[in-house]
Amino acid sequence: MAIETLEEDSLTKKDFVTPNDVRWCPGCGDYAILNSLQRTLPELDIPKENFVVVSGIGCSSRFPYYMNTYGFHTIHGRAPTVATGVKVANPDLSVWMITGDGDGLSIGGNHLMHTLRRNVDINILLFNNRVYGLTKGQYSPTSPLGTRTKTTPAGSIDNPLNPILFALGAEATFIARTIDTNPKHMIKIFKAAQAHKGVSFVEIFQNCVIFNDKTWDPVYGRQNRDDNLLFLEAGEPMVYGKEEKKGIIWNGSQPEITPLGDSSPKDKHILVHSPENAGALYTAMLAEMTYPEFPTPVGVLRRVEKPTYDSQIHDQVEQAMSSEPANTSLQDLINGANTWTV
Amino acid sequence: MDTESAFAEEFIELKTVVIRFAGDSGDGMQTIGERFTDSSAAFGNDLATFPDFPAEIRAPAGTIPGVSAFQIQIGSTEVLTAGDVPDALVAMNPAALAVHLSDLEEGGMLIVNSAAFTPENLKMAEYTSNPLEDEAVTGKYELIQVDINHFTLESLADSELTKKDKLRCKNFFALGFVYWIYSRPIETTIDFIREKWSRRSPALADANIKVLKAGYYFGETTETSRNRYMVAKADVESGLYRKISGNEALVLGLIVGSKKANRKLLYSGYPITPASSILEMLASYKRLGVKTVQAEDEIAAIGIALGASFAGNLGITGTSGPGMCLKAEFIGLATAIELPLVILNIQRGGPSTGLPTKTEQSDLLQAVYGRHSDASIPVIAANSPSDCFETAIEAIRIALTYSTPIIVLSDLYLANGAEPWKIPSIDSFDAINVPYAEEGQPYRSFNRNKDTLARTQAIPGQKGLEHRVGGLEKDEEGSVSYDPSNHEEMTKLRADKIKLIAESLPPTKILGEDSGKVLVVGWGGTYGSITASVNSLQAEGFSVSSVHLRHLNPLPKDLKEIMQQFEKILVPELNMGQLNVLLRSQLLIDTIPFNKVQGQPFKVKELTKIIHDLLHD
């Protein structure tokens, strides 16, 4: 279906702001994400009434109340199911699903997995702050081993889940990562997610100022980001580093960091990022490259073309409707094939 | 078995007859039961069926847990149940005999496949000696021993099929023989076999037809001295009829209801016995614009349906008892946000996996009360296989008119049972007009209709009506509100809205006089047994009436007054007394429970006895 072009005045950020007071803690990373999405939607050439924001439960899941669109704050972990229902009911809608590391990967892990593998054409933003915020500071499925919280006073012993590997395991067709401290990058990734036909999974490193403050600072803090973040661009070599330019090479069995010196990336055989129709091994390599062994990659990690679930449901229905005799009345339907008269 | 005068020279005419086919679950008993049903329906009998099969797909062949059965009652008069006990039992192996013989009354016809009574099979059926040589069996019943294996192979001597495949046709020999005894036409079955197998395996189709005929001719040639029976066409209301099962009727009702409401139907389910066939059937109706989703679990199934309702489709989900537990949290959300949603519960024996292939009506209180918080939602129930059709349409009417989730209770007995259905005219059902909010007007999402207290839905894609729904309490504007008095007000409004549904219900139908000694109050799948029992007692002049409830929440407004006109109220249920609790707590009227939890429907005889006892107390 074609998305209508706007005839009226263009939308602006303020069209997407609700009068409701935003009730996140001062300094929460969620504010920057909200602001970035409110700046993204007006630029998408989609009528405002066609946006639906669906969330689960958790701090991040209050998001729909602050977006002046159609919104649905559902129940814990189940947002992927409601978002699927909305999209299947009306594929013309642009559906944005907001979840967190607890909502999406713990209680809702099953639904997230199935929504990803079905390739429902929705945009999933997973705010990863590696802690339960709304219930006041218990560890989450992405908390590193040894994390001390109220429920893990001796340190957590659950092996954490890597959200990117999780999405890859379900063969998500679009996988990206961005950070709450970089609105420009967020907006770019959100636009790419909407442009992708199919499920788009975006992990956002997000700071919980109260219960897990500075959890991502080693990666994206002002002092560290140049050396610990790798901004991926399709077709560009994987180079980073403030003082000394470094790059990622493939050493035959795994990725490796190599100093660039005065050489060009090409001469050093620096890997060139190619997310388009990438095999799972390539994305897995990127997913496993994390701080402190590697710079943590952000950007679009994988983009694969596959038919979407919602469009296929509609295609099957439309095909059946057009190929069956149009004169099948409801009366014929309930009469069925075998009747007798008394 | 009601006997009338001789129908013709060689036939004894019966008003009704009950036949039970029993065999190993691999023997095709459901198949021949279905065929007997189709032939009898096409012939013009009234009928009711009761498939009774094990939970295991293929329990070890020949064992007692592997026995599968199909019972049918056909009649020339009104047939309301599949019959208490069989007049004729077909037992394809010793295990089937072991399970079902005790139900056969003295003098009943017993047809057995003698070839299956091998020492090995007898041992698996836990027989220490061959019951066919036991005088307690041979003397008590009209025993007909047929070496069905032998005759099946004989009739297929020319066939290229393997011996194993040939023997798989033996159920049709038994069917052919029963057709002969009950003088049924065999053409309907031949047509069925052709249609089903001709394309895939012409050899198999031919073989089954040959064996069916062989069974029929076996009767004609070797059993000439035997009595043959005839059940004449039923004297029923004139009109166009078809055979229908409960789940088929639900599916058709949902489709018709959604068309009457002009909403696109989206059904989302997760396979579970005995609800799976609803998802399967709806998936085959894409040509009518029906969308189906097989979800990853019960929770997703209802979440997808609710999301679809939010976006302007009619979201429907269906399951059985254990699945209802998983859906409970979402039903709470649907109650809070007041969106239309239809939830089907095809009940089975529980708790937990319980008796997954046996019937029970023990989810009533769960349906009415089974949620966190004060979260009243409407609950309605179907009372016969064909009644599932109207029940489905009524569910859609209530869900849309009152912007609410609604639970529809059916049960395994209704879902799998079949009966003839006088097909109603589509035009006899009113349109269900529930418009969306108007664009261009200010939208307050919890602004309510004065008459129904329903809120008006605005759907994504409607310009200018953007709003947020969610589990947090809202005020009338639709804004999140933690205000104490608002919460109390909204809780009351939600409850009042459900109570108001009672205003839209027609007067409760009473079977019999509107006052007297005993009133039987039932609901759901027990309708046939209760009605048959009350009919027979009324015919004998007893002061007994019955009321069968479709609406369980809210209860009909006139129910209390109706009940007060009777000395005693009997509440028979296939549970431990759940409607009984509802009636007592809501109406403050003393009631007498009568309960059975054996995974089997009520027998007319046991109901008649208990009512009789009450009348004479």
Architecture of the domain whose range is A13-227+274-315: 3-Layer(aba) Sandwich (3.40)
Give A339→chain B minimum CA distance, Å. Answer: 5
- ipTM over 0.85? The verdict is yes
The A residues from 44 to 63 touching B (CB cutoff 8 Å) are: 47-52, 54, 57
Fold of the domain spanning B3-231:
Pyruvate-ferredoxin Oxidoreductase; domain 3 (3.40.920)
Q: Least CA distance to B389: which residue of chain A?
A: A334
Q: Which of B255, B262, B281, B296 to mutate to test the interface with A (most CBs of A within 10 A)?
A: B296
**pTM for the full predicted model:** 0.94
Return the structure tokens found at B593.
């429970």
Strand bridging mode A51-55 / A70-73: parallel
Contact A342 B237 (CB under 8 A): yes
The B residues from 546 to 585 touching A (CB cutoff 8 Å) are: none
Give A309→chain B minimum CA distance, Å. Answer: 10
Beta bridge partners of A132: A138
Chain B residues whose beta carbon lies within 8 Å of the beta carbon of residue A63: none
Chain A residues whose beta carbon lies within 8 Å of the beta carbon of residue B192: none
Contact A331 B425 (CB under 8 A): yes
Task: Give the position of tokens 């263009």.
Answer: A10
Chain B residues whose beta carbon lies within 8 Å of the beta carbon of residue A59: none
Contact B310 A82 (CB under 8 A): yes
Q: Least CA distance to A332: which residue of chain B?
A: B426
The A residues from 231 to 290 touching B (CB cutoff 8 Å) are: none
Give A163→chain B minimum CA distance, Å. Answer: 20
Task: Give the position of tokens 């396979």.
Answer: B271
B282 lies within 8 A of chain A by CB:
no
Q: What is the pLDDT of residues B359-399, one digit of tens each?
A: 999 999 999 999 999 999 999 999 999 999 999 999 999 99
CATH number, span B242-428: 3.40.50.970
Does domain B516-616 fall under CATH 3.40.50.920? My reply is yes
Taking the CA atoms of B82, B88, B93 and B96 in sequence, report the sign of the dihedral they define. Answer: positive
Residue from B71, B67, B68 nearest B83 by CA = B71
**CA distances to A35, A68, A195, A206 from A183, in Å:** 8, 20, 18, 12
State how far the Cα of B360 lies from the Cα of B599, in Å rounded to an integer. 6
Contact B466 A47 (CB under 8 A): no
Contact B311 A85 (CB under 8 A): yes
Model pLDDT, residue B53: 83
B161 lies within 8 A of chain A by CB:
no
Those residues whose C-beta lies under 8 Å from the C-beta of residue B431, and which sit 6 or more positions away, are: B260, B261, B262
Could you count the other beta carbons within 10 Å of the beta carbon of residue B543?
Answer: 16
Angle at alpha carbon of residue B413, lines to B410 and B414, rounded to 5°:
50
Contact B468 A70 (CB under 8 A): yes
Give A110→chain B minimum CA distance, Å. Answer: 8
Q: Least CA distance to A69: which residue of chain B?
A: B466
Beta carbons of A108 and A185 less than 8 angstroms apart: no
Q: Tell me the domain boundaries of chain A.
A: 13-227+274-315, 237-272
SS3 state at B231: strand
Model pLDDT, residue A8: 56
Residues in chain B: 617
Return the structure tokens found at A339.
């009747």
A37 lies within 8 A of chain B by CB:
no
Angle at alpha carbon of residue A304, lines to A302 and A305, rounded to 5°:
160
Q: Tell me the domain boundaries of chain B.
A: 3-231, 242-428, 516-616
Give B603→chain A minimum CA distance, Å. Answer: 29
State how far the Cα of B84 lies from the Cα of B16, in Å rounded to an integer. 12
B426 lies within 8 A of chain A by CB:
yes
Contact B293 A71 (CB under 8 A): no
**CA distances to B243, B533, B538, B606 from B612, in Å:** 34, 10, 11, 10
Model pLDDT, residue B499: 98
How many A/B residue pairs have CB atoms within 8 Å?
208
Rounded to 10°, the helix B298-310/A79-89 angle is: 50
State how far the Cα of B443 lies from the Cα of B459, in Å rounded to an integer. 11
pLDDT surpasses 70 at A326 = no
Return the structure tokens found at A302.
């994988």
A328 lies within 8 A of chain B by CB:
yes
Model pLDDT, residue B8: 42
Contact B308 A86 (CB under 8 A): yes
Q: Which of B247, B304, B309, B462 to mutate to test the interface with A (most CBs of A within 10 A)?
A: B304
Could you count the other beta carbons within 10 Å of the beta carbon of residue B238?
Answer: 9
State which amino acid sits at residue B163.
K
- pLDDT band at A303; cut points 50, 70, 90: very high
What residues in chain B have per-residue pLDDT under 70?
Answer: 1-9, 224
Model pLDDT, residue B223: 75
Model pLDDT, residue B54: 82
Chain A residues whose beta carbon lies within 8 Å of the beta carbon of residue B307: 54, 72, 81-89
Beta bridge partners of B595: B573
Residue from B182, B195, B187 nearest B213 by CA = B187
B492 lies within 8 A of chain A by CB:
no
Chain B residues whose beta carbon lies within 8 Å of the beta carbon of residue A89: 264, 266, 291, 307-313, 315
Q: Least CA distance to A18: which residue of chain B?
A: B467
Q: Which of B372, B468, B481 to mutate to test the interface with A (most CBs of A within 10 A)?
A: B468
Q: Fold identical between B3-231 and B516-616? A: no
- pLDDT band at A327; cut points 50, 70, 90: low
Chain A residues whose beta carbon lies within 8 Å of the beta carbon of residue B242: 335-336, 338-340
State how far the Cα of B83 lies from the Cα of B222, in Å rounded to an integer. 30
The B residues from 297 to 356 touching A (CB cutoff 8 Å) are: 297, 299-313, 315, 329-330, 333
